[in-house]
Structure 1
């Protein structure tokens, strides 16, 4: 051996020792401080570990030697059904209305279906389905596994798999970068890395092949040098449709070698492997984007930590905006499988609630960006997802986004507004063609376009008129939370006006001088004395219209415009049907004596007035609040029989309502249900107990918890309005409240409450506590002379300065 060879061998030994020393200092099996661990690979894709940047999603199965990472893209909706111009339902509206007035609801519900067949719809049409991009297959030399753990770090967005086998200890990490918009996969270990990397089409079930063959022209995976490519072309095309998509991966090795063999890149004796992937939808498939994608990936840093540092700053700031502490140190290190088993058998612990709160927020943050979350967020492993995994606007998407403002991430809600603003021209067509009105109509289901193409004689959602008004409420709520006047003037108010314009033309005058909402629909319930969901004067429809008109008036007055239009809206409010209470004391779901309530149902649509900001009609009328509480009581009987039951977003909405009713006991019961039965081992959420991957609860769960701890409207802040009785001590940090107030910190311990507030403007607020106030002490800042009376304290918040208060309750 030459002198050079001796020195070089010594150098390699030193490098190996240094590498081992680094691994000795860092425990690859350590659970993240804010994250979770699992002791088993995912049994199917619904239990995968999740990562996402709001545009691309990654689902990590967690198998050491034969790994699959399913990739998704927010725009990959398979063009299965050409968008059709809305049917001329307006020409049949007099017929529909007459049949409803005659009590012939089934016949009325059949008319839109009949009209759709006349106009060539050919049957029941669904939204274009959300489909996976492709699988990344990572195979390594097999050996007996001696130790294993898979994890997600909520703060960095990493999904990790760590194991020890006969070759050494290895860690595989995956994240999807927000700033760089790439999927990053790293493999490192104490031993050499030998294996292969490839792209492949997501497996197709036998029952899905007809669907695949009818809609997908080709799917090709290839490898060349250190590059992987995947190209898929769609069969059906129309103006503006997606024609296919492409994905490119760059394999970077440190040490060893990498070469293309067939459709794989094979790696031999590498110390580290880095795989960078980018997916791009293609609206002109004849012009491949592969070369451009390769050039982009070549411009990326070739260091995992450099890429992670950029991403974790952006993602981490979003995630760390809020923190919940219920004192749950005991049990915080349990595996997700253990958590799910324990909570199914007993009430959820403080540690479980904290972890689920973080997991749910992580899921929604990771799924929001290009679009708001669809039914599956941004993920999916099936070619035929339930309900097409579309955007369902009669409750699902609203619950999914419900936590974004309060958790102080208003920038994420812009994806929701962008989605709707892009579809305004479709919504105008809907209003004109289906109802003969001006303004806009948001249908119940959308994905790639905004036309209402969904007609069914039973689920007669084309008769539901509340979509635009409900959507408009989030535009206005964004203003209430942020005080962004430019947004109010340029985006919120114009959308709200168009939604209100619809009602000016749609409502008719009844014999009592009040407006009649006909047709009407209360999602997705059937009156107990009817065989059809088609209806008259659904309470929800009236509530949405009233809220919209009030918000339009307030916005116009804030902007000092449209004085004459304000008079029109004020007059309309005087003609709205009065809310009614049934013989059993419950608020009626339909404001007519003809239709009877049906409490045996998942939805509580007629409590819409208590979903978010409390309707002033209820706030000022104890009898209506009592009637709403009776609805909750009746629906809870149904839910208790099913121990929570299916359609979890209905439970979340119920918790929103009970929190606003200051019903702490029922809110606690609902949160406990939500914690016990609807979680995968990958800390994703279900639609039903133990089944159907769905992200509604990931939005609704933290929202329910935050609403139990704080409620606000301009000039009013309620602290701990529905505090679960078992939460004797705790703390939450970082909430954003209506009125442009940040709740920097809220801590409670028995009758002692400490709160830190910062207002974006100088304002007087009333602060309410759950019990009578004994004393209020200003610890820091200047809140002026604080006056107290009963449960309330009045204080003056300065602009942009923290105020810390120590409050004792009796």
Structure 2
């Protein structure tokens, strides 16, 4: 077995044959993918700002003038007739039909060619703890290595080659929607990319430090030979307007080696990664190649502790690499194609939310800066959507966005413009950020203004029934069908108003503002339960259920807002659980479900943690393994059999683990609430919780019936302890008094 195996990471003994299986790293601005072929390698440079303008320029249709008639048709003839009318009017106003957002695209493909005809002792690896990618092999009786990282300090892609003879050259994309030109000056290659359908573009600077360097005739690369390690630095600089374009200046002098550059980067990356630590395996188990670990799990027909530990680490690694300047898109910060599925964009009807699900509890709070920045950049489009489609103030979020927040992705089959709760769902993380940090400056300057814009939309959009109850019409339960009063619409509005009222009270706002929100809150319709005892997905009596679906929108009060639990509202809790079980039977555990979906499985897992269903957690993990839903990097796929590179499952995995071990809501601290039998013992350190709590350590051993907890709060607070799977455990410990900035340790003897 190789000796230079990362303690936290993966390794395999064969190069990637497709870009989705490449080694990946990033710093929240730049991303890199390394295929790792010793004979003909490819390094793909990515940047979070690269979205290729498609030339889809049009004015949003002025649909507000038809809203009253649209609603009348909904009421008297139903949604099918109403949508046909609405779509026809949009087309008459010049709407071209459903358009995807501008797609994410790679910044460059740099090819590295050697004279090796064969090689052996091959290994490639990702060190999650440091962000370093390593390829090693033997050729011609010599040892070769290639190392890569994306610097947290200099904001560059850094690559180092062993001494030898190489040809490196940049691929000419020859893409019809952009123009590419390259120039070489001494050891620097500067390539310029102009977008055809915008004033923007980007520049790439590649510097090569080698003892013998000869430019290629077409100025797209170098022929080089060196008896010293070869240092290659790469940087992408996007711009929106030609006037914004700046020259990329050299950042690395000849005196700096790869080792010195890496040391300064590693300190930053390692500190982020080490804030939280899950320990389920031994060092010997961790050293095994990734596909051996996967095969072991398949033979066991369940998740193994060591593989879960690695998938947990991979999820936090994805977020560290992808979040920063913006937030992870569908593919994190990586792509090797100009035609990614769903444009590789920011998909807001479930995927972005899952990709950031574990950020706060993983103590990666600064990673949400890019999330807040992205939304702020999209706000002008969100405001235009509200005005043009509904004649409303405030904001209407898109389901898909990249370069614009304008709503252009909808038609009769996918009426996403009727999905009005998107901005409220995005607001969840604004208020959660405050709850985790206690940052009242953020609460006042960022969270409250965003919540207020959402409420403005509700004030103009909502209509009242004869009894004064609000009606959401039109309404759409994301991707699963139309019908007035979709449950998620009500649940999100309830969370928005509740959080804004609480924020006003904390900040000392006037009673007038508080009372206005309270009046709106009291007018929201009540949830409904169908004849099967299940929470309805649409709160209209004549609207049936479609349980065979990958989205879990109507369970928002369970997996996201935590509106109620078995103590605060046992009736709705039971109805929600029945609705969940219906979805499991019809979709998740049904081999003939409408489609496989990693995001659906992860939302299932987030519900399972709340309903305390450890066996289901094991089932969901097993489905990911047996259906080959991840690549060798442990980045996940949207569908089974490595079909479509998507990272929303990676972002959700740490949150699933945290919630099954330690979770907090409604003044209740839940311990081992959904711990699967397959994860019989372990330790987790550093998990953050709402109300400014930190779990310094949680250790458990189910065979020894032992649980140890060390927790600290930044505020004085009292909470109840809840062990739903161990109901006879230490009854006298069911209330916990936490004193500000004082660690408290508990030992609990577990008993069922």
TM-score for the superposition, normalised by structure 1: 0.88
Map 1:136-151 onto structure 2 (within 5 A).
136-151=110-125
CA distance in 1, matches of 2:55, 2:505: 44
Q: Per the alignment, do residues 288 and 415 of structure 1 end up closer, same or farther by CA in structure 2, a change over 3 Å counting? A: closer
Query: Aligned residue for 1:313?
Result: 267
The answer to whether residue 316 in structure 2 is matched with residue 375 in structure 1 is no
Q: Per the alignment, do residues 286 and 86 of structure 1 end up closer, same or farther by CA in structure 2, a change over 3 Å counting? A: closer
Deviation of the 1:286 alpha carbon:
7.6
1:667 corresponds, among 588, 596, 617, to: 617
1:519 corresponds, among 474, 481, 485, to: 474
Q: Per the alignment, do residues 227 and 634 of structure 1 end up closer, same or farther by CA in structure 2, a change over 3 Å counting? A: same
The answer to whether residue 637 in structure 2 is matched with residue 689 in structure 1 is no
Deviation of the 1:373 alpha carbon:
0.5
The question of whether the paired residues in 1 share the 8 Å contact of 2:487 and 2:539 is answered with yes
Query: Aligned residue for 2:684?
Result: 732
Q: Per the alignment, do residues 287 and 650 of structure 1 end up closer, same or farther by CA in structure 2, a change over 3 Å counting? A: closer
CA distance in 1, matches of 2:354, 2:52: 25
Deviation of the 1:86 alpha carbon:
2.9
Following TM superposition, where does structure 1 have runs of at least 4 consecutive aligned residues deviating by more than 6 angstroms? none
CA distance in 2, matches of 1:507, 1:399: 28
Q: Secondary structure at the match of 1:620?
A: coil
1:651 corresponds, among 581, 601, 605, to: 601
Query: Aligned residue for 2:195?
Result: 234
1:360 corresponds, among 300, 309, 315, to: 315
Query: Aligned residue for 2:290?
Result: 336
CA distance in 1, matches of 2:401, 2:130: 32
Q: Secondary structure at the match of 1:736?
A: strand
The answer to whether residue 481 in structure 2 is matched with residue 490 in structure 1 is no
Query: Aligned residue for 1:197?
Result: 168
1:281 corresponds, among 238, 243, 260, to: 238
CA distance in 1, matches of 2:592, 2:76: 39
CA distance in 2, matches of 1:344, 1:103: 52
CA distance in 1, matches of 2:2, 2:583: 48
Q: Highest CA radius of gyration, 1 or 2?
A: 1
The answer to whether residue 440 in structure 2 is matched with residue 479 in structure 1 is no
1:640 corresponds, among 580, 589, 592, to: 589
| 1:213-239 deviations in Å (ceiling 9; x for gaps) | 2x22x11234332112222111112xx
CA distance in 2, matches of 1:111, 1:71: 46
Map 1:86-125 onto structure 2 (within 5 A).
86-125=60-99
2:102 corresponds, among 109, 128, 145, to: 128
Query: Aligned residue for 2:652?
Result: 700
1:420 corresponds, among 375, 390, 396, to: 375
CA distance in 2, matches of 1:621, 1:481: 25
CA distance in 2, matches of 1:557, 1:438: 24
| 1:425-473 deviations in Å (ceiling 9; x for gaps) | 2222211221122211111111111111222110100001001111111
Q: Per the alignment, do residues 63 and 584 of structure 1 end up closer, same or farther by CA in structure 2, a change over 3 Å counting? A: same
The question of whether the paired residues in 2 share the 8 Å contact of 1:426 and 1:449 is answered with yes
Query: Aligned residue for 1:561?
Result: 509
Deviation of the 1:76 alpha carbon:
0.8
The answer to whether residue 41 in structure 2 is matched with residue 67 in structure 1 is yes
The question of whether the paired residues in 2 share the 8 Å contact of 1:112 and 1:455 is answered with no
2:184 corresponds, among 213, 218, 223, to: 223
Unaligned runs of 5+ in 2: none
CA distance in 1, matches of 2:465, 2:565: 22
The answer to whether residue 696 in structure 2 is matched with residue 741 in structure 1 is no
The question of whether the paired residues in 2 share the 8 Å contact of 1:424 and 1:440 is answered with yes
Q: Per the alignment, do residues 694 and 44 of structure 1 end up closer, same or farther by CA in structure 2, a change over 3 Å counting? A: same
CA distance in 1, matches of 2:566, 2:521: 15
2:740 corresponds, among 791, 799, 810, to: 799
Query: Aligned residue for 2:500?
Result: 552
| 1:449-503 deviations in Å (ceiling 9; x for gaps) | 1111222110100001001111111100111111111111110111111112211
Deviation of the 1:516 alpha carbon:
0.8
Deviation of the 1:389 alpha carbon:
0.7
The question of whether the paired residues in 2 share the 8 Å contact of 1:84 and 1:453 is answered with no
Deviation of the 1:167 alpha carbon:
4.4
Decide which moves more: 617-626 or 390-399.
617-626
Map 1:586-665 onto structure 2 (within 5 A).
586-616=534-564, 620-637=568-585, 638-642=587-591, 646-665=596-615
CA distance in 2, matches of 1:661, 1:125: 39
CA distance in 2, matches of 1:746, 1:287: 50
Q: Secondary structure at the match of 1:258?
A: strand
CA distance in 2, matches of 1:47, 1:309: 27
Decide which moves more: 115-124 or 69-78.
115-124
| 1:649-689 deviations in Å (ceiling 9; x for gaps) | 11111111121122222223223323443111222110011
CA distance in 1, matches of 2:656, 2:625: 11
Number of residue equivalences: 741
Deviation of the 1:630 alpha carbon:
1.2
| 1:120-165 deviations in Å (ceiling 9; x for gaps) | 2333221111111111111122142121000000111011110011
Decide which moves more: 633-642 or 647-656.
633-642
Deviation of the 1:378 alpha carbon:
0.6
The question of whether the paired residues in 1 share the 8 Å contact of 2:302 and 2:621 is answered with no
CA distance in 2, matches of 1:630, 1:162: 53
CA distance in 2, matches of 1:643, 1:732: 37
| 1:372-391 deviations in Å (ceiling 9; x for gaps) | 00011111011111111111
CA distance in 2, matches of 1:225, 1:752: 65
| 1:278-327 deviations in Å (ceiling 9; x for gaps) | 110133448864xx32x333558621111111211111111112111223
Deviation of the 1:117 alpha carbon:
2.1
Deviation of the 1:793 alpha carbon:
2.2
The answer to whether residue 333 in structure 2 is matched with residue 384 in structure 1 is no
Q: Per the alignment, do residues 288 and 326 of structure 1 end up closer, same or farther by CA in structure 2, a change over 3 Å counting? A: closer
Q: Secondary structure at the match of 1:366?
A: helix
The question of whether the paired residues in 2 share the 8 Å contact of 1:232 and 1:246 is answered with yes
CA distance in 1, matches of 2:451, 2:405: 17
Q: Per the alignment, do residues 110 and 617 of structure 1 end up closer, same or farther by CA in structure 2, a change over 3 Å counting? A: farther
CA distance in 2, matches of 1:57, 1:111: 45
Deviation of the 1:353 alpha carbon:
0.8
The question of whether the paired residues in 2 share the 8 Å contact of 1:714 and 1:739 is answered with no
Q: Secondary structure at the match of 1:271?
A: coil
CA distance in 2, matches of 1:29, 1:380: 31
| 1:741-788 deviations in Å (ceiling 9; x for gaps) | 00111111122111111111222222222324654xxxxxxxxxxxx5
The question of whether the paired residues in 2 share the 8 Å contact of 1:198 and 1:228 is answered with no
Deviation of the 1:341 alpha carbon:
4.0
Query: Aligned residue for 1:154?
Result: 128
Query: Aligned residue for 2:664?
Result: 712
2:281 corresponds, among 327, 334, 342, to: 327
CA distance in 2, matches of 1:611, 1:654: 9
The question of whether the paired residues in 2 share the 8 Å contact of 1:521 and 1:538 is answered with yes
Q: Per the alignment, do residues 617 and 326 of structure 1 end up closer, same or farther by CA in structure 2, a change over 3 Å counting? A: closer
CA distance in 2, matches of 1:119, 1:167: 70
Query: Aligned residue for 1:183?
Result: 157
CA distance in 1, matches of 2:682, 2:572: 33
The question of whether the paired residues in 2 share the 8 Å contact of 1:327 and 1:729 is answered with no
Deviation of the 1:342 alpha carbon:
4.2
Q: Secondary structure at the match of 1:805?
A: strand
Decide which moves more: 414-423 or 30-39.
414-423
The answer to whether residue 8 in structure 2 is matched with residue 58 in structure 1 is no
| 1:524-555 deviations in Å (ceiling 9; x for gaps) | 11xxxxxxx33211111111111111111111
The question of whether the paired residues in 2 share the 8 Å contact of 1:83 and 1:453 is answered with no
| 1:556-578 deviations in Å (ceiling 9; x for gaps) | 11111032121121112222111
